[in-house]
Structure 1
């Protein structure tokens, strides 16, 4: 049995993406969490970009960048999460290529230093939401991006839709309700066990703590109170 080690920051969504793919394929793997502000020498030696995730395979090779890791796992371990049809697969890959734009736009409110910057960031969220809403019109009756079959697109977007729900509970953004397909997709992904590396309430608390430490504008709304995890 191949040995896999996934190196992570606890709240990193890009690591979460790789972990989701491993869990969807029912692959046993070890997790090692490091601190963003204290990256050990052994990690720097195996991470050319000095970032997580890193997937260590058989203590022999280190794979990096979440998209490359997801594609590698899908090529080497059944069941395949990409569609078998070449055209559908190309469309799926195009939407995973869009993920960084989606992620940066949706989570920018967390990095805003002022109310004005927060409002401007929030105003940009509907654009990527509308694009995904239109793409999801082709999903049919199934809950996932391609319908009934879970895919690498679902694994890619799950961490960032989860974070939108987190941010919306900290300070109401009120966008996703206007995009019913997207909302239902996000809720289906958050409900799927593979999305979670930690119990949901525990992870939302970790995420809030991480936001609080950044001391951005949104952090003023974060209280050490009970979280509304779903």
Structure 2
């Protein structure tokens, strides 16, 4: 088997997506963490967009962009996480394509500078959750997007649903509670071992520190200990 090294920022959700796929397939790999504010020259040479993740294969090939890495791993290592049926696979890919829009809408309130902007961003959250609630219901999903079978859709959304639950423990907006299928999905993903590159409490503390460091409106509510749900 090839030797895999995943170049990473410790709290990057896009890296986490690639790491999840590696763990789901039980592929041995090692992390190489670098600092976002001090990206070395060797990294710039292997990452055309100067972004993580980069998957190094045998210290010879560099794959970049988390979606491409996930697809490569799914094509080359069992078990297959995409559905075998071409139509189902296309539907799954379409929902993966929606994920960046979903992330912008459900995390926008963490990146604004005033309470008024916060409330405006919160108002956009239900629409994104409603789309996924309908999709999961139509597909008779649960606990994962396609039902009992874990997929690349789950790996794509897991880092961001996990972070939404973290945000709820910083400043609760309660929107996810209106969508029980999405909430159950988020909890199931957060509890799945493959989601975690670090011990859960340690990683949540790292995430909270990053929110505090951003110095946005929500940052004032970050405490040393996460609030219980």
Equivalent residue number for residue 44 of structure 1? 44
Q: What is the TM-score of this pair, normalised by structure 1?
A: 0.97
Q: Secondary structure at the match of 2:63?
A: strand
> Residue 98 of structure 1 corresponds to which residue in structure 2?
98
1:129 aligns with 2:143: no
TM-score between the two structures when normalised by the length of structure 2: 0.97
Contact 1:201 1:228 in 2 (8 A): no
User: Residue deviations 1:72-96, cap 9 Å, x none?
Assistant: 1000111000000000000000000
Assess, with a 3 A threshold, how the Cα gap between structure 1 residues 221 and 228 changes in structure 2: closer, same or farther: closer
Quick one: structure 1 residues 123 and 62, their matched pair in 2 at CA, closer, same or farther if it must change by over 3 Å?
A: same
Give the Cα separation in 1 of the matches to 2:227 and 2:171.
12
2:226 — aligned with what? 227
Q: Tell me, in whole angstroms, the C-alpha distance in 2 between the residues paired with 1:149 and 1:229.
A: 29
Equivalence for 1:145? 145
Deviation at 1:24, TM superposition (A): 0.1
In the alignment, the residues of structure 2 paired with residue 173 and residue 164 of structure 1 have an alpha-carbon distance, to the nearest angstrom, of 10
Q: CA RMSD in A?
A: 1.2
Q: Flag the 1:135–1:141 CA change in 2: closer, same or farther, 3 A.
A: closer
- Whether the 8 Å CA contact 2:136–2:142 is kept in 1: the answer is no
Q: Alpha-carbon deviation of 1:69? A: 0.5
Taking the TM superposition and a 5 Å limit, the aligned residue runs for 1:80-91 are 80-91=80-91
Q: What is the distance in 1 between the residues matched to 2:218 and 2:100?
A: 22
Q: Aligned pair count?
A: 229
Name the residue aligned to 1:197.
197
Displacement over 6 Å in runs of 4+: none
Distance, in Å, in 1 between the alignment partners of 2:128 and 2:141 is 22
**Structure 1: tracts of 5 or more residues without a match:** none
Instruction: Tell me, yes or no, if structure 1 residue 154 matches structure 2 residue 151.
Output: no
